[in-house]
Structure 1
Amino acid sequence: MIKSDIELTITQDTLKEFMFTLQEAQGENDLDELGSFKKEIYLKALEGQVEELTKQVEDYENLKNGVIEPFKVSEIMKLPNYIIRKRIASGRSLEELSEYTGIDVRQLEEYEEELFVEAPPSDLAKIIKTLQIPVPTPFFSMLQVKLIDLKKNIAKSLKNLETFILPEEIKQGENQSLGYLKLFSRLKGIYDEYAEKFLLDSSQPIQFSSVSSFKYKVPKGVSQELVYSYTTFATYLAKVVSTSYTVEAASFLTDYRMFKEQVLRGYGILNLESCVNYMWDLGIPVIPLKAKGGFHGACWRSNGKNVIILKQQANSEARWLFDLLHEYWHATQEPELEERSVVDFTETLSQIEQDSEEIAANNFASDVLFNGKRNELIEACYEEAQFKLAYLKNAVINISNANYVDTGSLANFVAYDVQTKVKSKNQTWWGAAQTLQNKNNPHGVVLKVLEERLDFNNIEDKLDREMVINLIEAE
């Protein structure tokens, strides 16, 4: 980009040289020795240079005449380049801009050379104000907020999501103006007009119900603001991943026997890793999140593509697998709908007063895990233990081994069954069930598959790509 009359003269001279070289090359027979293919490449390279330099000269001359495109809020990441264009179109030299802003002219030269990457946000605000660039008011206000205060505002409003949303520049405190641009653009993309609520210290509660593209009843005792902030973020994340995953969706099996048969045929074993891989085979990306609160698990469908998000906090492969199978069932429902969302706010295994779909989802998951014999196996455990809690642990181990089912999974169902049958709070079997869990970092298992399956180069938007990479690195 040409930024001054001196650069214009240099560019015009360079353009003349390239045009002369091109004219000579087009008439020289000596180039025939290169062969027609190489000669064509050489001529096209020269033509490309001439075209590019001509475009730069015309662009600068238009700017000098005051011709400039309107600033677009949707393209705020292009603001650094627009600032330079606006200065030229306004007929102001760097010396004049320095006089108005109080910023040293040599500093302004460095800012423009580096596209304001290292400029303090407060200096960026001064330049924007001087050139009268109509940036969004929240963004202009944000530029005048100190980095430490901005981080506090984000931490206060986004809770555990800040790790995924904050750009690296904000985290490290380097290249702050670039970081502020990225943060505003990212929050604007996720939360639209509510972005300013996160950036500026506001005592007003954030009402997210109108932001979400789906509706559901928030359970009592659960923060509505927290639920909507998490689900809105997760919805955006799901769309980014589903859009970039190009595997065509296959038909979904709802018969647990056929489902299990397909997993075993493809991977030789039924466990968390094989089932996650099978989901990806079907065109269903599975995303793990460690952020606490908001919701427990979800299945989103956008433009006909399903995405499962798991937020199980327990370090138990059995619980992760159950949740995965539960959310898969939601993905199979109402296939004629292009858009569909189901959010589970509590442990799927212990949900009460469920609707028919939740019951069916739990039944499908347990049928896959226990070959349709969940109740029989639980009763067999009680009988093996002579209906005594003290003997139940060994009974679960024996029954699970004898029936070739996962011990941790059976232990969880027995613990929940004990909980529903025994009224005393002092009598619980969850502690014993916990000792029978496979704690082979289930979150890491799901994340590893995501890294292997997702081609990050397919995420077209650079900021979205960085956010997904943030998700992986933070986890």
Structure 2
Amino acid sequence: MIKNDRQYRITKAQVDRFNEALHAAQTRPSTQHPLLVRAEQDALRSQADDLRRQLAEYDRLRSGREVVLTGSSIEDLPRLLVSARIARGLTQRELAERLGLQEQQIQKYEATDYAGASLARIQEVIEALGIAMREDVFLPVQEFDAGTLFRRLEQAGLHRDFVLARLLPRRIAAHLEQSRRGAEAWALQAAYVVARIFDWKPSDLITGASLQLGGPVVAAARFKVAKHANPDQVTAYAVYAHYLALLLLEVTKPSRVTAPVRDPLALRQAIVDRYGSLTFASALRYTWDQGIPVLPLRDAAAFHGAYWRTEGRGVIVLKQRTTSSSRWLFDLGHELWHTGEAPTQPELQHIEPDDQRSAEVREDEQHAMEFAGAILLAGRGEELANTVVRKAQGKLERFKRVVPEVARDADVSVSSLANYIAYRVDFSGDFNWWPVAQNLQEPGPEPWSVARDILLEQADLAGLNPRDRDILDRALQ
């Protein structure tokens, strides 16, 4: 954004240089590939167009005509303050005089988007410019800095590192990372960003009022939180994951497919017929073809999958830290079973806990587990599990040796059979066999990257506003 006449003159000169460079690129002979030549010209043209837009905006603000300044959040406030000064016909020096400051101080404020200004100072600038603020734009009267923000978010189940890494735009996070104290303007912007994600009133977060995580998303999460987990952290992460899932739905084209396939063998055959084999990648593509986007996450949190349906459209979230493609494929099959639950209900929420042994979820999850096992093991899951038990004479310590033998004899994946056995043992509540199953996983492509790359192929993230795209981008890093 151009903020003064000097920058305006410099920008005009830059446009002239870009025009000259573009003319030279269009007229000189080149031995490069035509696509590379075109890319170079497009880049020059794009940069020149961006500078022209900035020049036109500055001209519009300086014209003296009535200008309506709008912003969608507190994040836009620094830009609006600069725009209002220009539209009022004030130079940086004249604004400084109104505030009893040096011109250099206003230059510094505007160069840093008012990052170093206290909230009291920002209020003084607003009053000096005669700006009318909307009622939902809240400026606190008491101290509110980065340290205060992070303490209040911690109480709601959101750790500082998670907030910085996942929730905040990079520019805001970079300023807040430098210190827990100070940076009031950046802390205020951060409060508005986080409040929007968790459907809080910004004033509640800023003033220290009680922060509630409500709605059906949280009800499902609280119902299925594992005993060893922190309920507040799991709840907060569930709301965050749901927010991302809704963003993904927003940029995914609806499908005409109306009824999910409920027969696991028919579903398996449909994937093989369309893609030649059953792999995690082919199952993902099939799911996307059904109009169900799949969001891969790998943060440390106490649930490993979710299915949400909103206004009749479904979205799957897979969250694992393992590099086992078979485990990710099993979880995808698990969630595909849930896509067929209550098909006439436009709204549905289902969250998979890390601990599957809770009595409340056993029957529900048992059906989903058997469905996923039937997809991966061609309907032979129970047969092969019983074979393992028989050959191991019912002794868990022998399973590690027996599972590969049974898998080879049946010509099925060792990884898939190991995961199926782990789920079965997990449901018994007597033993956690997952570490053993993990040691039996076969090497393959990194599944999170596979799911992320397919998402980027299928979804048009350019359709999101910049703030939401940044949040989704950070989840996909």
- Give the structure-2-normalised TM-score: 0.72
Out of 459, 464, 469, the residue aligned to residue 465 of structure 1 is 469
Match of 2:400 in 1: 393
Out of 265, 271, 275, the residue aligned to residue 273 of structure 2 is 265
Query: Residue 249 and residue 285 in structure 1: after superposition, are their counterparts in 2 closer, same or farther (change >3 A)?
Result: farther
Q: 1:118·1:177 contact (CA, 8 Å) conserved in 2?
A: no
Match of 1:232 in 2: 239
Per-residue Cα deviation, 1:305-343 (whole angstroms, up to 9, x for no partner): 211112234443333222211111112223333322212
1:317 is aligned to 2:313: no
Out of 258, 282, 287, the residue aligned to residue 295 of structure 2 is 287
Shift of 1:436: 0.6
1:253 is aligned to 2:239: no
Q: 1:94·1:109 contact (CA, 8 Å) conserved in 2?
A: yes
Shift of 1:240: 0.8
Query: Residue 346 and residue 238 in structure 1: after superposition, are their counterparts in 2 closer, same or farther (change >3 A)?
Result: same
Per-residue Cα deviation, 1:267-304 (whole angstroms, up to 9, x for no partner): 22223222122212222111122222353321112233
Shift of 1:265: 1.8
How many equivalent residue pairs? 416
1:56 is aligned to 2:60: yes
Match of 1:403 in 2: 410
C-alpha separation in 1, matches of 2:450 and 2:126: 47
Shift of 1:362: 2.1
Q: 1:117·1:177 contact (CA, 8 Å) conserved in 2?
A: no
After TM superposition, list the pairs within 5 Å mapping 1:393-432 onto structure 2: 393-418=400-425, 429-432=433-436
C-alpha separation in 2, matches of 1:316 and 1:245: 27
Shift of 1:109: 4.8
Query: Residue 317 and residue 89 in structure 1: after superposition, are their counterparts in 2 closer, same or farther (change >3 A)?
Result: closer
* Aligned-partner residue type, residue 250 of structure 2: T
Per-residue Cα deviation, 1:70-115 (whole angstroms, up to 9, x for no partner): x77x444442343245557778664453244344224425655x5x
* Aligned-partner residue type, residue 167 of structure 1: P
**Secondary structure, in 3 states, of the residue corresponding to 2:219?**
coil
Query: Residue 171 and residue 338 in structure 1: after superposition, are their counterparts in 2 closer, same or farther (change >3 A)?
Result: same
C-alpha separation in 2, matches of 1:467 and 1:235: 13
Q: 2:172·2:189 contact (CA, 8 Å) conserved in 1?
A: no
Match of 1:140 in 2: 139
Q: 1:306·1:331 contact (CA, 8 Å) conserved in 2?
A: yes
C-alpha separation in 1, matches of 2:426 and 2:203: 45
Query: Residue 291 and residue 130 in structure 1: after superposition, are their counterparts in 2 closer, same or farther (change >3 A)?
Result: farther
**Secondary structure, in 3 states, of the residue corresponding to 1:297?**
strand
Shift of 1:207: 2.0
Match of 1:171 in 2: 173
Query: Residue 448 and residue 344 in structure 1: after superposition, are their counterparts in 2 closer, same or farther (change >3 A)?
Result: same
**Secondary structure, in 3 states, of the residue corresponding to 1:310?**
strand
**Secondary structure, in 3 states, of the residue corresponding to 2:113?**
coil
Shift of 1:255: 0.9
C-alpha separation in 1, matches of 2:426 and 2:345: 38
Gaps of 5+ in 2: 10-51
Match of 1:274 in 2: 282
C-alpha separation in 1, matches of 2:239 and 2:144: 25
* Aligned-partner residue type, residue 170 of structure 1: I
C-alpha separation in 1, matches of 2:263 and 2:419: 23
Shift of 1:401: 1.8
* Aligned-partner residue type, residue 82 of structure 1: L
**Secondary structure, in 3 states, of the residue corresponding to 1:140?**
coil
1:298 is aligned to 2:297: no
For the pair shown, which has the larger CA radius of gyration, 1 or 2?
Answer: 1
Query: Residue 143 and residue 296 in structure 1: after superposition, are their counterparts in 2 closer, same or farther (change >3 A)?
Result: farther
Query: Residue 397 and residue 90 in structure 1: after superposition, are their counterparts in 2 closer, same or farther (change >3 A)?
Result: same
C-alpha separation in 2, matches of 1:141 and 1:408: 56
RMSD (Å), alpha carbons: 4.1
Out of 77, 80, 101, the residue aligned to residue 79 of structure 1 is 77
Query: Residue 93 and residue 392 in structure 1: after superposition, are their counterparts in 2 closer, same or farther (change >3 A)?
Result: closer
Match of 1:343 in 2: 351
Per-residue Cα deviation, 1:168-195 (whole angstroms, up to 9, x for no partner): 1133229979955763443232123344
Q: 2:297·2:476 contact (CA, 8 Å) conserved in 1?
A: no
**Secondary structure, in 3 states, of the residue corresponding to 1:62?**
coil
**Secondary structure, in 3 states, of the residue corresponding to 1:405?**
coil
Identity %: 27
C-alpha separation in 1, matches of 2:205 and 2:467: 18
Shift of 1:462: 0.9
Gaps of 5+ in 1: 11-47
Match of 2:439 in 1: 435
Q: 2:144·2:187 contact (CA, 8 Å) conserved in 1?
A: no
After TM superposition, list the pairs within 5 Å mapping 1:210-229 onto structure 2: 210=215, 215-216=219-220, 217-219=222-224, 221=227, 222-229=229-236
Query: Residue 57 and residue 292 in structure 1: after superposition, are their counterparts in 2 closer, same or farther (change >3 A)?
Result: closer
Q: 1:214·1:341 contact (CA, 8 Å) conserved in 2?
A: no
Shift of 1:397: 0.8
Q: 2:115·2:186 contact (CA, 8 Å) conserved in 1?
A: no
Q: 1:207·1:225 contact (CA, 8 Å) conserved in 2?
A: no
Query: Residue 249 and residue 289 in structure 1: after superposition, are their counterparts in 2 closer, same or farther (change >3 A)?
Result: farther
Shift of 1:119: 4.3
Match of 2:371 in 1: 364
C-alpha separation in 1, matches of 2:476 and 2:173: 16
Query: Residue 443 and residue 369 in structure 1: after superposition, are their counterparts in 2 closer, same or farther (change >3 A)?
Result: same
* Aligned-partner residue type, residue 330 of structure 2: F
Q: 1:154·1:199 contact (CA, 8 Å) conserved in 2?
A: no
Per-residue Cα deviation, 1:4-33 (whole angstroms, up to 9, x for no partner): 9x99xx9xxxxxxxxxxxxxxxxxxxxxxx
* Aligned-partner residue type, residue 457 of structure 2: E
